[in-house]
Structure 1
Amino acid sequence: MISKVNNSGVHRSEGRSGIVHLHEIVRLLESGWADKHILVVGDVMLDKYIHGSVDRISPEAPVPIVQATRRSEQPGGAANVAMNVAGLGARATVVGFAGDDEDGSILAAMLKASGVEAHLVTVPGKPTTSKLRILGGSQQMMRLDIETATPRPPEAYTALLEGLISLLPDVDGVILSDYAKGTLTAENCRSIIAAARQAEVPVMVDPKGRDFLRYRGATTISPNLKELALVTGHTVGEVKDVLESGRSLVAELGLEYLTVTLGERGIAILDEEGEFDAPAIARQVFDVSGAGDTVIATMAVATACGVTTEDAARLANVAAGIVVGKLGTVPIARHELVAALTEFSGTETPEKILDLDRLLVRVAEWRASGHTVVFTNGCFDILHVGHIALLEDCRRFGTKVIVGINSDASVSGLKGPSRPIVGERERARILAALAATDAVAIFDAPTPIDLIVALRPDALVKGGDYTEESVVGAHEVKSWGGRVVIVPTVEGFSTTNIVRKLAHSADR
C-alpha cells in the first residue's frame, strides 16, 4: 500500500480506491453525502449536565458546593454516534433500548429534532441509560450513572433484531456502538453482522471489553489503544507491539482492516499488508468524551461514499479535532468540518465555482461559523486592474466574497454578439483563482437579482460608475438590513477600452 500525505491533513492518497481530492470530499459533504444512510445499533443513553460555579467548600463534608446555573441534555452513546452521522449531513437511523421513563422521552424527542430516525425498543422496568455530570465551570465535579447492564427479556431482543433487519435493504452502512450496557450481546452481534453481510452492507464496530470474537466478520473494529492493548495482552506504552498484535486480529477475525484510535497520535489503519498512520490535527483539547463516536461516524459515512480508507481516516482526525475542542458530548456539525478543511488546506479553485444549490449550502455554513457575506457582480470579460481593485475593496465590508458573473448568453445580450471574448468557464476559473474571492456563481439572466435575493448578502458592492439607485438588488439588500456600497473605480481601465485598443492595434 502506498499513501501520500501533504501538510493539509486531508488532501489526497493513493491506496485502496485511488486518488481523492479535498474539493471532492467537500462536495460530498455539501451534497449530503449522496443521501447515504447509516444505521447505528447499540447502547443509547442520555447525557445530562448541571452547569454551575464553585465558590466554597461545604461545611457538612469536605466537598465543593456547586451553585447550579443551568441544565442541559444531549444524546449519548450510540445515540451520539447517530447525531454525528446526522451532523455530517447524512441520513441516520438508530436502534436500541430505552426505558418507559422521562429520560427515554427526552432522548427520543431530541433525536427526532436533530433529524435522526429513532427505533427505540421500550423495556418496562429498565431505565433509560443516563449519565448526569455536575460541572463547576469547565471542571467535572461528579458523575451519576443510572443504568442496567443486565440482559433484557428475550422478546425485547427479538423486537430489536427484527426491526433492524427490516431496515437493512435501505442502508449503506451499519455501526455497532457497544458501551457494554446489554444491547449488543455476543449472540446479537453475531446475528446483526451476519444479516448485514448477507445484505452486502459494511459493518463498523466501536467495541467494548476483551471479547472481540463477538465482532467476527465485521468490516472493521475501531478500538482505542487502551482497548486494543487489553485484548492483545500488552501495556498501553508498548505501542509498536500492540499494533503488531492488532494486525494479526485482521485475519483471525475476518476483518478487512482494523481502525485504532491513538489519541494525540491520530489513527492507525492496520491490515494484512501493513499499516497506515493518519496523524492527528493539533487543537486545544477541552473534553475527549464523544471523540470516538465522531471518528467512527465520519469513517462510516465517508467510506459509504467510496472515499478511500486512508482519506476517511484523515477526515475523521479533522472531525475528532473539532469535537475535543468542545465541552461535553457534542456531535460534529457539517459546517464546522467544511470550515476546518478549508482552514488547513485553503479552498481549491474548482471548489469555488458553485451552482446555486451548493452556494446556498456554503453560505449557510459560513454564516453558522460567524462570517458575513459580500456580493458583487459583472461580466468580468478580460480581467483587468479595475476588477482586481473592486474585489479587494469587497474584503473591507465582510469576510466572504461572492462574485456573480454573467453567462456567455447573458453577456451577448448585454454587449452584443461579439462578446464575450473570454468564455464563462474560463472567466469563472480566473476569478476563482484570486485570493480575494471565496465563491463564483454564473447567472443566465440579464441581472443577478434572483441570485441576490436567494443569497441575501450582508453587503452589495459595486464600482463608482454606479449610483445606489441604479444598483440592481439595492432595495432588496437594504430591506433585510444589509448595506449597499459604491467603491471608487480605477480610472482608465475597462474591458471596452482594452477591446478598442486591441482593435486599433490590429488595424495599424
Structure 2
Amino acid sequence: MVDAYLWGDVGRISPEAPVPVVRLNRKTVTLGGAGNVLLNLVGLGLPATASGFVGDDDGGRQLVLMLEQAGISPSGCVTLADRPTTTKTRVVSGHHQMLRLDEEGVGPVADEDVKRLIDAILGQLDDASALILSDYAKGVVTAEVCGAVIPEARRRGIPVIVDPKGFNFQKYAGATALTPNLREFEVAAGLEAGYDSEAFRRAGGDLRERLGLEFLLVTCGGEGMRLLDEDGWSEFHALAREVYDVSGAGDTAIATLTAAVVAGLDLRDTVRLANVAAGVVVGKVGTAPIQGRDLRDAVRDGQLPGQTGKVYEAAELADLIRSWKGLGDRVVFTDGCFDLLHAGHVALLAKARACGDRLVVGLNTDRSVRQLKGPTRPVVVQGDRAQVLAGLASVDAVVLFDEETPLELIEGLRPDVLVKGGDYEESQAVGGELVKSWGGRVAIIPLVEGRSTTRILEGLQGTIE
C-alpha cells in the first residue's frame, strides 16, 4: 500500500458546510501496509524482500521505487492490470488525523496472478530466515496462498509469523505464530460477551492447539499484549508514554517480534522488545517505522521491564556508539571500580558527561577489582555496581571489563574523550595516546577532596573496632 499524508493547519470552518478548512502546508508519501512492516525490518538492520500485488498505475510505480530506495527488493511484487494500487490518503492537522481517503480494489484476483504470487514467494524461501504474512483483507493473503507457502516454509524450518485479518483463522493453520488484536481473537476463539479470564485462557489454548501454533500473541491496545505458549499465558503491559497516532503500531510489533525470533531471543524477551517498539512508534505522528537507535534508546531508558537498560555487552555498545556518532554526538569514556559509590564519584561522572554528549562508564569486574584492590574487595558485587551507575542521569551506558586495564575496551569503542580523575596525569591515562590518535582528547577532572571508598571503609572499620 501507499500511505499519503496531507499536512496542514486549521484556522476556520468552511462557509460552504460545517467542516474545517485545512490550509495545506506539505505532502508526504511513504510505504504502507506490508511495506511499513518491511520499513520496520530495514530500520532494525535486517534485509527484506517484498511480495504482494501492485497496480499498473502511478501508485504502483511509486511504490516499487520507494521499495528500491529503502533497500528492499521488490522482486516478489506482481503487477495487476485490472485493479489500482491501494492508496490511503490522510489529512492531518497538528497531531490529529482528520480524514482518510482510500483508493483500492478488493475483488478476486485471477488464478494465474495468484499462481504468480505463490511462485514468487516460494522462490524467495531459499534465502529466508523468516516469513511474515501481513493480511490486510485485500485479496492477497488468501487460503490458497497460505495453503501453499506456510507448509513449505515450515518444511524448511523457516518460522512463519502472521498478522491476521478477519475472524476465520483456519487458513493460517501450521504457522509458527499469530498476532491478532483483541477483537479478532475474541471472535476467532468463539468467546461470547461477558466472558471471564478463565474462558479467555481456555479459548486461547483451544485456538493454539487447533491451528498448531508454537505461540499466540494477542495485542490489546492500551492494555498491552498477552502471550500464550507451551508455558501458559503471560501479560505485558503497554509502555507508550504519550499516544499521538496508532497507525502502524501492529506493523512495528510484528517486525520487531520476527527480528527477535530470528536473532534467537528468549520468547518473553522477544515480546517485551516488540511491546517497547510499539510504544515508541505510537508516540510519533503518522505511520513511522521503528529505527534501531530508537529501540536502543527506549531500552536504555528503562522501558524494557526486567532488564537494566543502560548495561551493555562491548560489541552491542560499539554498535550503539556508532549510531550516536552518526547523529553527531561526542562520546566520553571513563572507567573505574566504583565500589561504594559516593559523592566524589557522582561529581566526577557529572563533570565527565559535560565533556561531551554521551557518557560511557567502563566498570571493572569483581575479578579485576580483587586483582587491583586485594581479596577483600569489592564490597559491592559487579551486577549491583552496574545497576547503581546505570541509575545516574549523567551515565548513558555501562560496560564491564575483566582485563587489568580498559585499553582493549577503549580500542573497540573509540570514544572522542577519555576522562580520568585528578589523581592521574595525562601521560598516565591508559588509552590516552590511542584516543588522541583518532582525533580525540584526554580530560583530567579534579577529585572531590576527602571522598574515597578506601576512606569510607577505614571509617567503618574504626566504628566496628
Return the TM-score normalized by structure 2. 0.78
Distance 1:389 1:348, change over 3 A: farther
Q: For residue 251 of structure 1, what is the aligned residue in structure 2?
A: 209
Task: Give the secondary-structure state (helix, strand or coil) at the position aligned to 1:179.
Answer: coil
Deviations, residues 424-468 of structure 1 (Å, cap 9, x unaligned): xx9x96985661652448799x997995897453x5544456479
| Post-superposition CA distance 1:378-431 (Å, at most 9, x none) | 9x899998877644531333453235699xxxxxxxxxxxx97789xx9x9698
Q: What residue is the counterpart of 2:186 in the other structure? A: 229
Residue number among 164, 167, 173 corresponding to 1:216 in the alignment: 173
Q: Report deviation, 1:279.
A: 2.3
Tell me the amino acid that sits aligned with residue 111 of structure 1: L
CA–CA separation in structure 2 for the residues paired with 1:274 and 1:100: 47
Listed as ranges, the matches of 1:86-485 within 5 Å are 86-119=42-75, 120-234=77-191, 238=195, 240=197, 241=199, 244-270=202-228, 274-342=232-300, 343-344=302-303, 352=311, 354-355=313-314, 357-366=315-324, 373-376=331-334, 390-398=348-356, 400-403=358-361, 435=389, 438-440=397-399, 451=410, 455=414, 457=416, 459-464=417-422, 466=425, 472=433, 485=443
Q: Relative contact order: is structure 1 or structure 2 higher (C-alpha 8 Å, sep ≥ 6)? A: 1
Q: Note if contact 1:87-1:334 (Cα within 8 Å) is conserved in structure 2.
A: yes
Q: Aligned-pair distance for 1:231?
A: 2.8
Deviation at 1:112, TM superposition (A): 3.1
What CA distance in whole angstroms lies between the structure 1 residues aligned with 2:240 and 2:436? 46
Alignment partner of 1:311: what SS?
A: helix
Distance 2:97 2:320 in 1: 36
How many Å apart are 1:177 and its aligned residue? Answer: 0.5
- Aligned equivalents of 2:195 and 2:6: distance in 1? 38
Q: CA RMSD in A?
A: 4.3
Which residue identity does 2:273 align to in structure 1?
Answer: L
Secondary structure at 1:298 match in 2: helix
Shift of the alpha carbon at 1:145?
0.8
Q: Which amino acid in 2 is paired with 1:97?
A: F
Distance 1:149 1:384, change over 3 A: closer
Instruction: Decide whether the 8 Å contact of 1:466 with 1:486 is kept in 2.
Output: yes
Q: Partners of 1:455 and 1:347 in 2: how far apart? A: 30
Farther-moved stretch of structure 1 (177-186 vs 297-306)? 297-306
- The structural deviation recorded for 1:312 is 2.0
Question: 2:2 matched to 1:46?
Answer: yes
CA contact (8 A) 1:98 1:128 kept: yes
Q: In structure 1, what is the equivalent of residue 16 of structure 2?
A: 60
Find the partner of 1:69 among 11, 25, 30. Answer: 25
Structure 1 residue 301, shift from structure 2 partner:
2.0
Identity percentage of aligned residues: 41
Deviation of 1:103 after TM superposition, in Å, equals 2.4
Q: Provide the secondary structure at the position in 1 that maps to 2:49.
A: strand
What letter matches 1:361 in structure 2?
D
Counterparts of 2:189 and 2:12, CA distance in 1: 46
Provide the C-alpha distance between the structure 1 equivalents of 2:111 and 2:133, rounded to a whole number of angstroms: 20
User: How has the CA–CA distance of structure 1 residues 362 and 474 changed in structure 2, closer, same or farther, with 3 Å as cutoff?
Assistant: closer
- Contact 2:415/2:435 (<8 A) preserved: no
Name the aligned partner's letter for residue 288 of structure 1: V
Does the CA contact (< 8 Å) of 2:41 and 2:255 recur in 1?
yes
Instruction: Tell me how far apart the structure 2 counterparts of residues 91 and 223 of structure 1 sit (CA, whole Å).
Output: 25
**Whole-angstrom CA distance in 1 between matches of 2:323 and 2:282:** 20
1: CA distance between counterparts of 2:7 and 2:372?
A: 61
One-letter code of the match for 1:199?
R
Q: Which runs of 5+ in 1 are unaligned?
A: 1-44, 407-418, 499-508
CA contact (8 A) 2:426 2:443 kept: no
- Cα distance change of structure 1 residues 337 and 217 upon mapping to structure 2, 3 Å threshold: same
Instruction: Name structure 2 gaps, 5 residues minimum.
Output: 365-370, 456-465
Distance 2:443 2:78 in 1: 58
CA shift for structure 1 position 97: 1.3
Distance 2:8 2:194 in 1: 37
